[in-house]
Amino acid sequence: MKDLVLVLGDQLSPGLPGLRQLQPGDADILMAEVTAETEYVWHHRKKIAFIFSAMRHFAGELRAAGRHVIYRAFDETPPCPELASAVADALAAGNYKRLILTEPGEWRLRAEMESWEERFGLPVIILEDDRFICSHDDFNRWADGRKQLRMEYFYREMRQRTGLLMEGGKPAGGRWNFDSENRKPASGNLFMPQPFGAEPDAITRDVLDLVEARFPDGFGDLRPFRFAVTRADAEKALDHFIATALKDFGDYQDAMLKGEAFLYHSVLSAYINAGLLDPLDVCRRAEAAWQAGEAPLNAVEGFIRQIIGWREYVRGIYWREGPDYVRRNALEATRPLPDFYWSGETDMACLAAAIGQTRREAYAHHIQRLMVTGTFALIAGIDPHALHEWYLAVYIDAFEWVEAPNTIGMSQFADGGLLGSKPYAASGAYIDRMSDYCAGCRYDVKDKTGPKSCPFNALYWDFLDRNADRLRGNPRLGPVYKNWDRMDEAKRQAYRDRAEAVLKGL
């Protein structure tokens, strides 16, 4: 009797725990494109195409290595409505002694899989996903007893554990963090490299035709499609980033420019999160570029921090906090998500740029997400769960374990400060400083309360006023509230009135 090994669409790694200890012939491998996984949120069509094509290519890679793969395609008859039905069909057709899984990245799937042993009547082995540097137990040991779970201290431990950018037990350059050097605004006269683009092969073209036919009204542009869907092309994308963009990534990682979707960002997160690239290998290759004098320390440190620091940290938060984390709403924000988050049709130039780019590319970099779409939702009092589902749907790299803490905790402060030390609320001045979006916008970023004033300006102060009982005690907001208190009542009321007009307009 054989084992049946299930491989999910974000587990496309030869070193997956469920795969690496098996010899060809020991097990059959099951992969399935199932309806439920395309429908639980309104996924960007590029995201569906990326995952399906990458799955099909990985199945081919496994077969070439002598593995027997049972593959359920989305367009086969009868269709496969859910993962459990794919498993049930495979078990009914074969003679298996065990079902082996690598833990999924979402609580909803974990809960479903934990019921399968009773449902299917055979042992179900759920292995921990050790493609991450920090295990669940390790993260909990780090977190237990701490009053604050700040990423910076976690990141330092990950640096020490991996040895990345370490010199004799001390951080390279004498500092753990060079973030203060990574906040330069960009200008249009800079050379802007484009990320690596893969030419769709026959498999990908078939998937694009499938997605176009089956999701005609789905969110986002499907073509052109240039994402890598194989390990080899993902490696080329990594090499291209290191050669063309890494050296400037640090300086301009927070910058935003009209018409420049990528700037110096790697656009590798989808490949890492789906399993096409190994995160530790990515970091080591970036470190090697610094050691060879091909990229400065501030750029390489900032890039590595995003992977072994932030990525590992938010995963730890997600699994530690439990399945109810995505429903937290510490600020009791209940406003519906505005329709323009889906259409991009708004007169606010920054939001139109970020959302329009998201519709076209299934991508926006972290400052566009945090300080444009995220900040507006925060100061407008948008329901954080609705925003969570939007982020999960529209970005190609969004899987719940990484997306939810970034949204619920970092962006919306809905966990009450577990993850972030303060809300990322801001007026239009931040966007004006870090982008060229405000030039030519219908709204005047310098105007505070007039009918053509930037909506971010009034909403910022109104947000602080609305949430004063909850936030006034935050030490990082003390100076801000002192500024509010020093304003005369007429000025404060003008902010409230303008904010009310903006919110009614939503």
Together in a domain, 45 and 114 = yes
Report whether pLDDT(24) > 90.
no
- Residue 309 sits in a domain of what CATH number? 1.25.40.80
Residue 154 lies in a domain: yes
Together in a domain, 290 and 177 = yes
Question: What pLDDT sits at residue 196?
Answer: 96
Together in a domain, 84 and 48 = yes
Report whether pLDDT(185) > 90.
no
Together in a domain, 253 and 175 = yes
Residue 233 lies in a domain: no
Residue 333 lies in a domain: no
The position carrying tokens 């577990």 is 418
Domain that holds residue 146: 136-195+245-321
Other C-beta atoms within 10 Å of 301: how many?
A: 27
Together in a domain, 362 and 313 = no
CA atoms within 13 A on the CB side of 70: 18
Report whether pLDDT(189) > 70.
no
If pLDDT is split at 50, 70 and 90, which confidence band does 186 have?
Answer: confident
Q: Find all residues with CB under 8 Å of 442, minimum gap 6, and list them.
A: 347, 348, 349, 452
Report whether pLDDT(191) > 80.
no
Together in a domain, 300 and 417 = no
Report whether pLDDT(190) > 70.
no
Residue 232 lies in a domain: no
If pLDDT is split at 50, 70 and 90, which confidence band does 213 have?
Answer: very high
- Residue 91 sits in a domain of what CATH number? 3.40.50.620
Of 72, 103, 127, the position where a domain reaches its end is 127
Question: What pLDDT sits at residue 179?
Answer: 84
If pLDDT is split at 50, 70 and 90, which confidence band does 187 have?
Answer: confident
Together in a domain, 32 and 104 = yes
Question: What pLDDT sits at residue 21?
Answer: 74
DSSP, collapsed to helix, strand or coil, labels residue 11 as coil
Other C-beta atoms within 10 Å of 372: how many?
A: 25
Together in a domain, 421 and 347 = yes
DSSP, collapsed to helix, strand or coil, labels residue 389 as helix
Question: What pLDDT sits at residue 228?
Answer: 98
Q: 28 burial class (0-12, 13-18, 19+ CB within 10 angstroms)?
A: middle
> Average model confidence (pLDDT) for the chain?
95
How many domains, the chain? 3
List beta partners, residue 257: 260
Q: DSSP state, 150?
A: -
**φ/ψ of residue 350, rounded to 5:** -65, -45
Together in a domain, 161 and 99 = no
Question: What pLDDT sits at residue 180?
Answer: 81
Residue 397 lies in a domain: yes
If pLDDT is split at 50, 70 and 90, which confidence band does 181 have?
Answer: confident
Pairing verdict, β 96-102 and 124-127: parallel
* Lookup: tokens for 362: 């299934």
CA–CA gap between residue 212 and residue 225 (Å, rounded): 12
Residue 36 lies in a domain: yes
pLDDT (average), residues 465-469:
97
Question: What pLDDT sits at residue 462?
Answer: 98
pLDDT tens-place string over residues 335-373: 999 999 999 999 999 999 999 999 999 999 999 999 999
Question: What pLDDT sits at residue 188?
Answer: 66
Residue 326 lies in a domain: no
CA distances to 2, 239, 265, 360 from 395, in Å:
38, 23, 15, 11
- Residue 385 sits in a domain of what CATH number? 1.10.579.10
Of 76, 106, 127, the position where a domain reaches its end is 127
Residue % of the chain over a pLDDT of 70 = 99
Of 90, 106, 127, the position where a domain reaches its end is 127
CA–CA gap between residue 242 and residue 252 (Å, rounded): 15
Cβ distance 329 to 384 under 8 Å?
yes
Residue 408 lies in a domain: yes
Helices (H), 202-343: 202-214, 231-244, 246-252, 269-274, 279-291, 297-304, 312-321, 340-343
pLDDT (average), residues 417-431:
95
Together in a domain, 36 and 170 = no
Question: What pLDDT sits at residue 73?
Answer: 97
**What order do you get walking across the sheet with 96-102 strand by strand?**
68-72, 27-32, 2-6, 96-102, 124-127
Together in a domain, 375 and 311 = no
* Lookup: tokens for 232: 């080899």
Together in a domain, 173 and 77 = no
